[in-house]
Structure 1
């Protein structure tokens, strides 16, 4: 891929890791999926796929130049192929016309061409950059771009026909990926480069590419003999199929559940925005007479709807019904591509668990006492479906803050203006609307151009903000369309410019009002924009390590989590928080309350993340299928150390925990906490210099851009961090930001 998700936070997928990372170096999602915070679950940065498309615009000096093919079109008897948008050169991907009917012929023609290109590469390969890496990058890019288009559309404009088409050609795509990943001529050429005198003349980025390709080839089975390789490939095919199906099943199960309500007593306590959304959903389902005031209403498991129920519905039975529906929805090579080892990851998790436990116990005690005083609930009778409801009531009582009452101050247009102003201050870039320049997949999608201080375009990105539960998967993520690359330059001199998409699932405009956001939705947008910045502001010309490509998984969340900190910066927040009707700025006392509430239930939120991370590592390092424990036994065992209240015996949340299977974070969910340490420490550089010192903020912002955002995967992330911060990272800032600094630890 991701911001924090809780029943009060929207989810971000960030990144989705492919086992063939030389083909899809980072498949976010977040997804960039981004973390599961508190009681709501999903992805963050999805997959960093790339996209392809035909040219629908005249050549513009301000437009990037891309091509899905680096050589003439494939000769084929199929008359439909010349018009297939997946096989054409393009300015920007034609997201508006790519359809399921294009997938089978387009992908098969592309694979046929790439097979021929690979044959030629293996026949002529030499241990040199022009004869090895440049043709390899072109092969990789063509597949990643084309597959990225259709996979992105499946995430944001899902149809049964598109699913079926992708499912049919996916085994053929995986077969080619396996052949490429297991190519001995390519592997031997990389080894020869590493062992030759030219090694010393390579740049750091080039050395990283060589080392990465050798490591990935080994992980992809290049050294396996025939029988073992066949078995390995069979397993990889099945994993790819199951991963795809798993994600589809989670989406279908989420979409399938909905509750039709006509009695307003059942939804007492739901805020006006939630009622308007529920009525709008009912209208879309054929109940044309539905209104926010009189119903009928349809409530779903889609994040904006589900979160409102769990936080605000006074009907305890309704909360229980939705909670149960949610939790009943449906050998490690991963660490080889990360900063941490299993031991180091577990050491960090234990240090943070120790720092969080007592605070989480106190959180629960406070909640029980408050609930009993307010509603006569027995202290020991607080259930899972009560926690978010009473936590929100306690937060309102303690800090006198109501999320729903804050919404009018956070209209989407103002939030985006403030975000772009911050980017200008910190990184010296200008962001301007470019709607109409590129085709989009939905009328709500915005398109933007990013310029440097000279006024020249350096990147582009799409922004798809609103929830569309009928066709769009949940969560929030940043995704790569194309990456920066000199090899794939259209004129041979200027690098191809990067393009990204940012996808969220926030509350859409209702009743003529703009999208009015919760503060957590604001954090989510900042989070995903952080991912996009690292993709767009890269200065790497080597396409295989540009942007987020080639960055170890447990460091890729650094920029996204770093950007969240600015939501609490007075000048930034006050520039965003303007009442959408009156223009009034958020009152100072409310800002101070938001600041104070930042650490509310920090121990509980931390433990929740640590539970997911610990469970993920346990399942991928020690669990023995068919042994004495089921995966649900492991869940219960890990929860005893990481949760103050154990999960329900019938809890089957693991069946929809996409991060550890379909979400790309297998054996890597700890990465969110690892990256939180890095991001908090990075932000503390601004705190040390003085957040009110505009000159210092700009200077450090430029340094952040030239290191964290610019260097991509061309340098080891620890070295990049040290180059920015002047030392190795420490968890002190994270514990301080979380209100848990009474316990010190060392990362």
Structure 2
């Protein structure tokens, strides 16, 4: 997942409510990092430095915009890229980077102090970037550059940047005037506040729920490694003598705890308790997202209509690959027709299996993961707890980096002492060219473990800085730096972090996002890496990388038992591959359900006049897409952060849209021969030089066709899921 993939410029911003005199900015570590164009000084950073640094950056950008507008009005020189686009990239960078640090820390090291600063300053950042986007002088300069004779001399990246700038300004309300403009700007401010509140409520609701279990019999079936984690969590919560064997154990709603309990606990009542708590998370006071969702949907529709669109979905698709809402609905419906009958049969098989193995009650939602795991273990003799010891994080990283080197001709090295980090568990790495010129071309942070008290759930890649020729130091190109964030189980005792196979896939997924950000060759920040890439194409590299987890050679390099270093046995690997299609139709229906719900809420649902509630809509869509219906009280929408706190509003369909491209792209590697090192490297370089290098400098379909040699085909996707 991309956490709005680092597009910090116009996503969310800050208000100065109390204009306080600046003091001692020279010693502010954030300011120093911006002035030197260096990485954030996370260890030196003090919370009290954040607000002064932001206020200074806001004030400076405000003055810079005024100066640029004055020059454009006066037309003191002919408009050229160098005197319009270059100053805009340089002047907007300091505030974008500062606000990016604040947003990053809010997601990985959340605190009441940081929230207060974010809340205090958010609307002023929204205002200054809205002012930037709505500048008539800058907008007119964009149009004049596009219509000038110089246009024919621009490269692909420059043309795409200008076209995106014109579209972005239009969608930011540059054409509005008077009361409409004032209202639009109010909507922008309020929408940013609601996103932050939604995210904080999900984090707080997750953090606030805990269950201390003292009776060993209530923990039957839960693997010892999970009991170790639960005892470790209890010890951190004040139960100093907690042990895996005797407890007490602290249960919570963060994924490394919730999923194993639902999958392994024989205590049906315990599974039900956690399932119900998670299904209603963030839907009651004091962390209630219901009103936030309703207001968000209302404001989005109003904003779209001010810009001349009928619905927010139409506004969203104006900057995406998908040509229309109808085409997205068509994709959802066509895939549903293929999946639904198979998913019905899958659920019936699961029900029969549960009855056969002693369940007398009707199959409930909190039974599905339990019996799915049991049946999977029996059908394929496969158990996550058997697999995990073969995937210690250090070994997985070594293998992932080796694969990256062989495919894309780069070398990855640990560089933990070269950057300050926000937590002791965070790692830092350099990416170098291979060969005689082994210069550093990119860097990244890796934050692998769950910390439910301060870190958002899920996994994502975000931008620290992007590649830019203008924004480098001493004439050098500024190299891209990424944040890679996961939430897997931390080390327990003397054991390293042992990863489930799904966690391995997740790491490969986020690393794919990171590769597109880091291996770009575009030298304009606005089109480098993931910037400027249509949202429904941005999942291509991430989903593409997941496919290597099912290649024997890759598995050999990323696996090694944490005690013996023995690679994953062949039989286990074969079982993993066989199990890939297990309940695949049910899994796809789940994603289609989310996408269809997202699109319906942003296209067909009228939050002002509809007699149906958002939860009635949720259940209506589920009735079509889900084989087992959700609980009557299920309020999944209240924690659907992708569309209410992230960048996927009217865009969740992007996962499936891009998966068509990713499966087809991987097909070229299969055709070349995954075990033919020479052909694999050749194809890898082709992928690097197109999908990873070109970023937003060309349309994604053009980039794909340049790599694949033809238009995309859905056949590879259907084959992967066994739906042909």
TM-score above 0.5: yes
Aligned residue number for residue 538 of structure 1: 520
> What aligned pairs does 1:75-94 form with structure 2 within 5 A after superposition?
78-88=22-32, 89-90=35-36, 91-94=38-41
Is 1:201 the counterpart of 2:153? The answer is: yes
Distance 2:56 2:250 in 1: 44
The residue matched to 1:94 in structure 2 has which SS? Answer: coil
Aligned residue number for residue 674 of structure 1: 657
| RCO comparison, higher one (Cα < 8 Å, 6+) | 1
Aligned residue number for residue 307 of structure 2: none
* Cα shift readout 1:368-410 (whole Å, capped 9, x = no counterpart): 01000001435xx111111011000000000000101111100
Aligned residue number for residue 697 of structure 1: 680
The residue matched to 2:124 in structure 1 has which SS? Answer: helix
User: Which among 603, 610, 620 is matched to residue 592 of structure 2?
Assistant: 610
Aligned residue number for residue 34 of structure 1: none
C-alpha displacement of 1:80? 2.6
> What aligned pairs does 1:681-720 form with structure 2 within 5 A after superposition?
681-720=664-703
> What aligned pairs does 1:479-494 form with structure 2 within 5 A after superposition?
479-492=462-475, 494=476
Does the CA-based 8 Å contact 2:516-2:693 persist in structure 1? yes
C-alpha displacement of 1:99? 2.9
C-alpha displacement of 1:100? 2.3
TM-score, length basis structure 2: 0.92
* Cα shift readout 1:259-303 (whole Å, capped 9, x = no counterpart): 000001111111111101101111111111111111100010011
Aligned residue number for residue 253 of structure 2: 301
Distance 2:572 2:8 in 1: 48
Is 1:403 the counterpart of 2:384? The answer is: yes
Aligned residue number for residue 224 of structure 1: 176
Aligned residue number for residue 79 of structure 2: 127
Aligned residue number for residue 30 of structure 1: none
The residue matched to 2:60 in structure 1 has which SS? Answer: helix
The residue matched to 2:444 in structure 1 has which SS? Answer: strand
Distance 1:101 1:616 in 2: 39
> What aligned pairs does 1:88-487 form with structure 2 within 5 A after superposition?
88=32, 89-90=35-36, 91-125=38-72, 127-330=79-282, 331-332=311-312, 333-340=315-322, 341-378=324-361, 381-453=362-434, 454-487=437-470
C-alpha displacement of 1:22? 8.7
User: Which among 702, 718, 722 is matched to residue 735 of structure 1?
Assistant: 718
* Cα shift readout 1:111-131 (whole Å, capped 9, x = no counterpart): 011111111111113632111
Distance 2:50 2:566 in 1: 50
Distance 2:643 2:423 in 1: 30
Distance 2:31 2:42 in 1: 13
Write out the 4+ residue segments of structure 1 that deviate beyond 3 Å after TM superposition: none
Aligned residue number for residue 528 of structure 1: 510
1:376 to 1:104, Cα distance in 2 relative to 1, 3 A = closer
Distance 1:413 1:457 in 2: 22
User: Which among 558, 583, 587 is matched to residue 540 of structure 2?
Assistant: 558
Distance 2:88 2:535 in 1: 23
* Cα shift readout 1:168-202 (whole Å, capped 9, x = no counterpart): 00011111011011011010000111111111111
Distance 1:342 1:452 in 2: 43
Distance 1:229 1:594 in 2: 56
Distance 1:156 1:490 in 2: 28
Q: How many equivalent residue pairs?
A: 676
Bigger fraction of residues in helix = 2
Distance 2:720 2:681 in 1: 22
Aligned residue number for residue 573 of structure 1: 555
Distance 1:361 1:450 in 2: 47
Distance 2:91 2:681 in 1: 40
Aligned residue number for residue 637 of structure 1: 620
Aligned residue number for residue 745 of structure 1: none
Does the CA-based 8 Å contact 2:8-2:100 persist in structure 1? no
The residue matched to 1:337 in structure 2 has which SS? Answer: coil
* Cα shift readout 1:300-358 (whole Å, capped 9, x = no counterpart): 00110001111111111111111111110123211111100212212211121111111
C-alpha displacement of 1:143? 1.4
Distance 2:587 2:616 in 1: 23
Is 1:503 the counterpart of 2:489? The answer is: no
Distance 1:431 1:449 in 2: 6
Aligned residue number for residue 566 of structure 2: 584
C-alpha displacement of 1:220? 0.4
Does the CA-based 8 Å contact 1:244-1:662 persist in structure 2? yes
Is 1:16 the counterpart of 2:13? The answer is: no
Which has the larger displacement, 727-736 or 665-674?
727-736
Distance 2:373 2:695 in 1: 40
C-alpha displacement of 1:92? 2.0
C-alpha displacement of 1:77? 5.6
Distance 1:242 1:415 in 2: 38
The residue matched to 1:547 in structure 2 has which SS? Answer: coil
Does the CA-based 8 Å contact 2:489-2:497 persist in structure 1? yes
Distance 1:629 1:99 in 2: 47
Which has the larger displacement, 613-622 or 634-643?
634-643
Distance 1:201 1:673 in 2: 37
Does the CA-based 8 Å contact 2:5-2:463 persist in structure 1? no
TM-score, length basis structure 1: 0.89
* Cα shift readout 1:114-172 (whole Å, capped 9, x = no counterpart): 11111111111363211111111112221111111111111111110111111100011
The residue matched to 2:318 in structure 1 has which SS? Answer: helix
The residue matched to 2:416 in structure 1 has which SS? Answer: coil
Aligned residue number for residue 297 of structure 2: none
Does the CA-based 8 Å contact 1:434-1:449 persist in structure 2? yes
